Structure 1
Amino acid sequence: MSNATTLYYFAVGHNDFYGGVPSFSGLRLKYFSLYDNPLGNGKSTNLDFISSLLNSTATLALLYLDNCNFGGVLPRFIANFSRLQVFLIAENVVSGTIPSEIRHLVNLQYLHLSENQLGGTIPSSWGSLQQLISLNLEGNKLFGEIPISLGNLSLLSRLYLQFNELQGTIPISFEKLKYLLELDFSRNKLQGNFPKVTSLVHLDLSHNHFIGPLPVEIGGFKDLLSLDLSNNMFLGTLPSAIGALTSLIELNINHNLFHGFIPPSFSSLKSLEILDLSCNYLTGKIPEFLGKLQYLKRLNLSFNHLEGEIPTEGIFKNKTEVVLGGNSNLCGGIPQFGLPTCPREGERQHLSHIQKLAILMSSGTLILLIIVALIVFIYKQKNKQPLKLDATTEFMPKLSYWSIQKATNEFSKSSIIGFGKFSIVYKGILDGSLGIVAIKVFKLQVRGASKSFLVECEALRQIRHRNLVKVLTTCCSIDHEGNDFIAIVYEYMINGSLDNWLHNHSKDTGENNDSKSLNLLQRVNIAIDVANALDYLHNQLETGLVHCDLKPSNILLDGDLVAHVADFGLAKFFPTEVTVASSSNQESSSIGIKGTIGYAAPEYGMGSDLSTFGDMYSYGILLLEIFTNKSPTSDIFNNGLTLHNYVRMSMPEQVTEIVDPKLFHKEANATSRSLVLQDQIIECLVSVFKIGIACSMELPKNRMSIGNAVKELHSIKNTLVELGDIGTIPC
């Protein structure tokens, strides 16, 4: 390259070059672009090549290095490129602090350092970058306060600081930024005053610590198209001044402390397409004018205190686009909402005395029925026999409390192999043909445990599949203190739970897992086993079954490492056509959130009904955990970063950095075959992660079906089998 002395433009972006960057010494370049090439390896020496460009310090105007997997720190001599106007090095693994010397790049117009691992504070000296138009520091580890000096960047039109750890307030100096169009400070720890930058078209302050009422001055943001203030602590009533934002397309203020009515002035928001006022304390009726906003595509009013009749015009004709769960006093609307008919105005007074009398009578009757039911229940408990889960259990031995106590060595701690909210699982040895078993004893003192037992029994009575845990019998008895005792006895899985294998917990799984790990093909086989079980539950039963709590601790492995899905205590039957076709917006005020944090689908937290889409989300997260060995509740996932986003942002160039390190082995002498083998295996891993990402999409309708997941996983398995020795990945 050093002989190309007349070369001014070097642009090889968006290719597949790899293996490092050659020297460019002796050249006087103006335009240098390498973006979207896997040239780096994430190491600290990746940016050393920039020193070979030093002859171009007086000419270089553009340096474009996005998405090249470059590691290391930004060199301080970057300030020598005095003519630089565009410096883009986003989506790499650049670390360290931001050099304050960048302040000398006074001709800089675009500075993008987003999606790296930069730490420290934003240099306060950047006020000298008077030509800066766009500044993007999104997705780093920056902390401290936003420098007041950024208010001196008079030409700035776009400022992105989201997904950092910034604190303090938004400087009042920002009011001087007359050309600022887009401002995104979401996912930080900011608080204080609302920024008064009326030129904005996009403002996102979500997921911060803002508190207090919204100022009426918000009505001055006449050009605003998108406003997101969600997940803060804004309070008071919704300002009528928001109605002045007639250009607004998206308004999101969910998870705040607003109360009072939805202002009539919102009827002026004629351009609105998305409106989310959920999880506040709004009262009154749902305004009729919301049904007259002709461009409104999505409306979420869930978890407020709204009451009265639901409108039937406009967006309210389409239940799938309206979320109203968590408002207990709504009525009417289209039949699909499934709400009672609203009483007519003329009937209210006439029926009030009759209603009161009916309530008193029905309450007395209900109390009497409860007493009778309790008496019947107690009688049955003292005379009950083990439940018949299927035809095979009829010939199994009928177990007593004393036989269970003996089998578990008097329920000793050393016999415990698992536990949950409603139960403890013991390893036991029963006399006769049963031998070693797993015994799930329900903690009846915990509210909901008996219901969980009945739900699990009902589910297990109707299902049978090689990848589902096999039930042997049950025990419904009385313990030594005269208390009710219920348990389910399962076939014992000698290799314990998948959770133990992935995270090397100390619980007894038959063998010491600290010295063992699952290889690549074994993990793919386990993923296929679980997918087959879900396919059976969702699509092959007369009435579909939603598992509702899919996670590694509920996946058990037998002696051949075949996976068996266990724990149906939260399961729910649905007609297959409802399960598969149900929308994410089905409301349920009674079901509540089901499942485990990290694995439960996000729509469950919004009051949506249980569906197979929720199981698919859990399966996607499970799949990502199997191959990264990272739990979705790990400490590294905070400030908005999730396991889904962690994997998605690493695809495909950095996939080797997120894979479980135990899947790699070092070769002393790398051969051409091993390098080819490595590339092919990495392609398979990328395909696996794509399935996990597709299954765990935020919107239920965007998630991959279990049938497609099974097909793609089988294709990946066939490829791995053809490659031969793929226990681990050569590196």
Structure 2
Amino acid sequence: MSCAIHMALTLDIFRSHIFYIYLQKMHKFQSLQQLPNQLSKSLLRYTSQPPSSSNVREGFSLVSLTTASPAVRGNNSDQQALLQFKAKITGDQLNIMESWNSSIHFCQWIGVTCGRKHRRVTKLKLRILKLSGSLSPYIGNLSFLRELDLVGNSFYNQIPQEICGLRRLEALNLANNSISGEIPSNLSACSKLILVDMSDNQLTGEIPALLGLLSNLKVLGFFNNSLRGNIPPSLGNLSSLERLGLTFNALSGIIPESFGRLRNLSFFTIFGNTISGIVPVPMFNLSNIRSFDIGGNKIEGENQISGQIPLSKSNAPNLGVLELYDNMLDGNALSMSENNILGEIPDEIGNLINLEVLDFPIPFDIGRLWKLNIFYAHSNFLFGTIPHSIGNLIELTKLVLNFNNLQGSIPLGLGNCKKLILLDLSHNNLSGPIPPEILGLSSLSIVLSLSSNSLTGELPVEVEKLKNLGQLDVSHNRLFGLLPNNLGSCVSLVELYLEGNLFEGPIPPYLSSLRGLEALDASNNNLSGGIPEFLVRFGTLKYLNLSFNNFEGVIPSEGVFKNTSAIFVEGNNKLCGGIPELNLSRCNSKTSSKTSLKLKITIIVVISGVTLVFSILLIIWFRKKKEQKPTTTHVENSLLRLSYQSILRATNGFSPQNLIGLGGFRSVYKGILEANGAVIAVKVLTAISGIDYQGNDFKALVYEFMENGSLEDWLHPSVGMNEPETMRNLNFIQRVNVAVDVAHALEYLHHCCETRIIHCDLKPSNVLLNGELVGHISDFGLAKILSGDKLNYSTNESSSLGLRGTIGYAPPEYGMGSELSTNGDVYSYGILLLEMLTGKRPTNERFKEGLSLHNLVKAALPNRVVEIIDPILLQESVRRGTVADITLNENNLGNNEYLQCLNLIFKIGLTCSAESPSERMDMSDVVTKLCSIRDKLLRPARLYRGIQTPYSAGT
């Protein structure tokens, strides 16, 4: 039963230590919580001169007895609740819980805050401490708790219902964990809640309608979960709500009409759901709105707006972000990134001088938006240069222009943007040196990414000013020279990516100051010297890639070097030692430096002598060889010194038993060379009959035998193959690797040969896979070789266009008589890339009446990838799970890195297979972009995709 306690306190009497309490309708107490804590302490403190009335004295005694003992019990219950919370912790990498012991008072435990007077737990804040485990229901016993913050850990299982008994709770922040189950429906019992953030978890079920009773709520975030059902109209009753984030869930239905009553709403995002219908008209009158994002849904209609969005007459004067893309709006609207919405950016865009966030292609007068602080225009097909006027945006904090086709140099004016904390210009065609002005921006603290461009020159010494930067990525450019010692001044670096450049020399010892590094990639450079010992002492290092350089000496066996899954050192032939799993040669560590020097001198002398003798013998041999005049000459400039007779013996006289392939104008035989037992494949280009016994008219290509056959066999396995069909499938990563291999090969033919070679017939059957599934292209340059002999082959075969390629893979201009070009190979590669990801041949029966493989993929991007992806990929295991887990929910596209990469590869395929040759990419650019995408798939998660959310308390 409850009791009504009416207290009359007189300030003068209070100061005189005389306390009068009148208890009316006195009944028995249910719990201590029916009396304020401060009152119970006051009653114990101010006991002088109690009232003379027996009733009052009796009541006073009762109150005193019921408050003295529970005060002690309350403290004890808090300690026990915390210990029960600790008991559920299964992972504690930083040993945080070691401080939670009886040697100190629990109010001094890490993450625990108590009230000053009553010593009860008011805050439990364990943010980003690498804890894992389930949430203990004993949290519900922390009855004075006002803030529970467990952001950025790995807690799992369900949210205990007991949390809903925390009547004083004001902030509940469980973002960035792995919590599953449903949102507790009775969370509304915590009526004082101001902030609820459960973003980036694995929550399911529906949003409880009872949350609409939380009248004090200002922030509600359920980003990146798997919530389904409709958005409850009752949320429109949250009159204090300022921020509502429901991005990347599986919500459906419509935007409730009641949301027009959220007068204090400033941040609203429902991106990446399947919301339909129209935007309620009252929402356009929410004058405090600053960010309005309904992209990636199925919003339709004109939303009561005809013509262009009236930017200059908007009823939302504070609007900073307006994102409507990936919907089905009619009429003209702002054309945002990653969308197909039609219409133009209004000329009046330059009049929005209060605009703070902009997300669409770069407008001409961007420099006039001097209040702009966030600018996203990533993942478009933007051409041209970055306007120099962008340097006028002195309030800019985040600039993201990655994955476009921007050209020219990086504007020096960006050095004026002194408030930039994030700059991402990666995956473009930018050239020239890195401006020192950019590296001089000491404000950069999150990411500076310039990767996958064509930047040249040395890394400027001004890099030393990036003392606050978390991630530096200059990979896949053409940077050269020594790594500057000043790089060691970037003491906040967590990730450093230098791969794919021309850096040389040793790793500077000054990098030993980068003790917080978690990822370091310096692969594919010309670095030399020994592997620095200081890397052993980097306790946080989880990814180290030094492969394909010129390092030498001993590999350490401690620290990160003990983990074979974390280090990569292949392609450094002079390295030795290390743990046995690296399979490197042993080092001779007993040799003294003096003995080593003598040994080196001896080796040099011996090698010089041997070289001299060998040179003399070689000259004598050549002279004798010249004197032996053959009756006829063999094919000149042969890369392999194989005689016709040796090939004849290797193939058992071109026996039908050795025939492994038969084409329109060539036959392929398997053979074994007598000299070394090497297994070869011989592709005969001329008719065997009629050749003399020496094979003077014989032409053939001799390859290493590819035991895994062709890509055709893997993409479209024959029903009658001996192996189970599942044995002939390539998973996603393997397909990406093969695509990179083929791109590298075409780049070599187009740009690295003395005479440019055009393949003319790239298709899956001409891509061969060795024992390690490395892709090799065959039949390159046959058009030139065969046309030189004036061979005349039929062009009437169903799958052949003679010397100009194969139907489906040959570019459209070849059918109109255009000359052969490298652009034709790029087209074939684009079709091949689309086929590898969809599993559909370009000659599939469904492709008729204007529909083609190119158009099918184009129509499906970016949100319907699941409909066109090869079904095999939905079953194949990939890194961190299966593609099935990743792709079954198409609304997770923006949240999943694999699907993002899949979309980017599809875009490359579409660009390469464009109808106009001038719109196609160059193979060098294809290699750069694909390598970068592959690195993204294999490397650790990026910092700025990590633990921060828009709702993080205290940030």
Give the TM interval when normalised to the shorter protein: 0.5 to 0.7
Distance in 2, Cα, partners of 1:125 & 1:378 = 65
2:869 corresponds to: 688
1:455 corresponds to: 679
Instruction: State whether structure 2 residue 429 is matched by structure 1 residue 197.
Output: no
One-letter identity of the residue aligned with 2:667: I
Q: CA deviation at 1:24?
A: 5.0
Written as runs of structure 1 = structure 2, the 5 A alignment for 1:647-658 is none
1:663 corresponds to: 847
Asked if the contact 1:23–1:49 (Cα under 8 Å) also holds between the matched residues in 2, the reply is no
Instruction: State whether structure 2 residue 315 is matched by structure 1 residue 58.
Output: yes
Written as runs of structure 1 = structure 2, the 5 A alignment for 1:609-628 is none
1:393 corresponds to: 657
One-letter identity of the residue aligned with 1:109: E
Instruction: State whether structure 2 residue 366 is matched by structure 1 residue 106.
Output: no
Q: What's the CA shift string for 1:117-156, capped at 9, x where partnerless?
A: x5xx6423433341x2210111223333333332232322
Asked if the contact 2:711–2:764 (Cα under 8 Å) also holds between the matched residues in 1, the reply is no
Residues 138 and 687 of structure 1, relative CA distance in 2, 3 Å threshold = closer
Distance in 1, Cα, partners of 2:496 & 2:441 = 17
1:92 corresponds to: 339
Distance in 2, Cα, partners of 1:531 & 1:693 = 23
Unmatched 5+ stretches in structure 2: 1-253, 263-267, 626-640, 702-709, 743-762, 779-805, 813-820, 852-858, 888-955
Distance in 2, Cα, partners of 1:174 & 1:381 = 68
3-state DSSP of counterpart to 2:368: helix
* Match 1:127 to one of 363, 368, 379: 368
Distance in 1, Cα, partners of 2:274 & 2:352 = 31
Q: CA deviation at 1:198?
A: 1.3
Q: CA deviation at 1:480?
A: 5.2
Distance in 2, Cα, partners of 1:163 & 1:71 = 28
Instruction: State whether structure 2 residue 407 is matched by structure 1 residue 171.
Output: no
1:239 corresponds to: 484
* Match 2:552 to one of 302, 307, 313: 307
Asked if the contact 2:810–2:824 (Cα under 8 Å) also holds between the matched residues in 1, the reply is no
Q: CA deviation at 1:298?
A: 1.4
Q: CA RMSD in A?
A: 6.4
1:36 corresponds to: 296
Distance in 1, Cα, partners of 2:354 & 2:486 = 40
* Match 1:16 to one of 259, 274, 286: 274
Asked if the contact 2:408–2:430 (Cα under 8 Å) also holds between the matched residues in 1, the reply is yes
Asked if the contact 1:103–1:129 (Cα under 8 Å) also holds between the matched residues in 2, the reply is no
Distance in 2, Cα, partners of 1:174 & 1:210 = 16
TM-score for the superposition, normalised by structure 1: 0.54
3-state DSSP of counterpart to 1:306: strand
Q: CA deviation at 1:481?
A: 4.6
One-letter identity of the residue aligned with 2:645: Q
Q: CA deviation at 1:218?
A: 1.1
Distance in 2, Cα, partners of 1:47 & 1:659 = 42
Q: CA deviation at 1:191?
A: 2.6
One-letter identity of the residue aligned with 1:440: V
Instruction: State whether structure 2 residue 563 is matched by structure 1 residue 318.
Output: yes
3-state DSSP of counterpart to 1:170: coil
* Match 1:228 to one of 473, 495, 499: 473
3-state DSSP of counterpart to 2:348: helix
Residues 536 and 35 of structure 1, relative CA distance in 2, 3 Å threshold = closer
1:381 corresponds to: 645
3-state DSSP of counterpart to 1:325: coil
One-letter identity of the residue aligned with 1:260: G
Asked if the contact 1:179–1:199 (Cα under 8 Å) also holds between the matched residues in 2, the reply is yes
Asked if the contact 1:24–1:52 (Cα under 8 Å) also holds between the matched residues in 2, the reply is no
Q: CA deviation at 1:7?
A: 3.7
Residues 343 and 70 of structure 1, relative CA distance in 2, 3 Å threshold = farther
Asked if the contact 2:284–2:315 (Cα under 8 Å) also holds between the matched residues in 1, the reply is no
Distance in 2, Cα, partners of 1:330 & 1:498 = 35
Asked if the contact 1:35–1:67 (Cα under 8 Å) also holds between the matched residues in 2, the reply is yes
Distance in 2, Cα, partners of 1:172 & 1:356 = 51
Q: What's the CA shift string for 1:203-252, capped at 9, x where partnerless?
A: 01122333222222211111100001122232321111111111101111
3-state DSSP of counterpart to 1:320: coil
One-letter identity of the residue aligned with 1:108: L
2:225 corresponds to: none
Distance in 1, Cα, partners of 2:825 & 2:333 = 26
* Match 2:508 to one of 259, 263, 269: 263
Q: CA deviation at 1:272?
A: 0.7
Instruction: State whether structure 2 residue 574 is matched by structure 1 residue 329.
Output: yes
Q: CA deviation at 1:567?
A: 7.2
* Match 1:159 to one of 384, 399, 423: 399
Asked if the contact 2:425–2:450 (Cα under 8 Å) also holds between the matched residues in 1, the reply is yes
Distance in 1, Cα, partners of 2:474 & 2:723 = 38
Q: CA deviation at 1:14?
A: 4.6
3-state DSSP of counterpart to 1:315: helix
Distance in 2, Cα, partners of 1:287 & 1:206 = 25
Residues 261 and 57 of structure 1, relative CA distance in 2, 3 Å threshold = same
Asked if the contact 1:251–1:275 (Cα under 8 Å) also holds between the matched residues in 2, the reply is yes
2:34 corresponds to: none
Residues 66 and 239 of structure 1, relative CA distance in 2, 3 Å threshold = same
Asked if the contact 1:249–1:271 (Cα under 8 Å) also holds between the matched residues in 2, the reply is yes
Asked if the contact 1:90–1:112 (Cα under 8 Å) also holds between the matched residues in 2, the reply is yes
Q: What's the CA shift string for 1:509-559, capped at 9, x where partnerless?
A: xxxxxxxxxxxxxxx99745489788679589xxxx9998999xxxxxxxx
Distance in 2, Cα, partners of 1:535 & 1:363 = 58
Distance in 2, Cα, partners of 1:228 & 1:21 = 42
1:595 corresponds to: 776
Residues 164 and 357 of structure 1, relative CA distance in 2, 3 Å threshold = closer
| Larger relative contact order (Cα-Cα within 8 Å, sequence gap ≥ 6) | 1
Residues 181 and 309 of structure 1, relative CA distance in 2, 3 Å threshold = same
Written as runs of structure 1 = structure 2, the 5 A alignment for 1:537-556 is none
Written as runs of structure 1 = structure 2, the 5 A alignment for 1:188-587 is 188-192=429-433, 193-194=435-436, 195=438, 196-201=440-445, 202-344=447-589, 345-346=591-592, 348=596, 381=645, 387=651, 393=657, 425-427=663-665, 439-440=667-668, 455=679, 479=692, 481-483=694-696, 527=716, 529=718, 572-573=770-771
Residues 392 and 484 of structure 1, relative CA distance in 2, 3 Å threshold = closer
Distance in 1, Cα, partners of 2:807 & 2:881 = 19
Q: What's the CA shift string for 1:27-49, capped at 9, x where partnerless?
A: 64556653321347xxxx98995
One-letter identity of the residue aligned with 1:688: I
Unmatched 5+ stretches in structure 1: 76-87, 397-416, 419-424, 428-437, 461-473, 489-496, 500-523, 552-563, 574-578, 581-592, 598-624, 668-677, 710-731
Asked if the contact 1:25–1:54 (Cα under 8 Å) also holds between the matched residues in 2, the reply is no
One-letter identity of the residue aligned with 1:329: K
Distance in 2, Cα, partners of 1:350 & 1:221 = 46
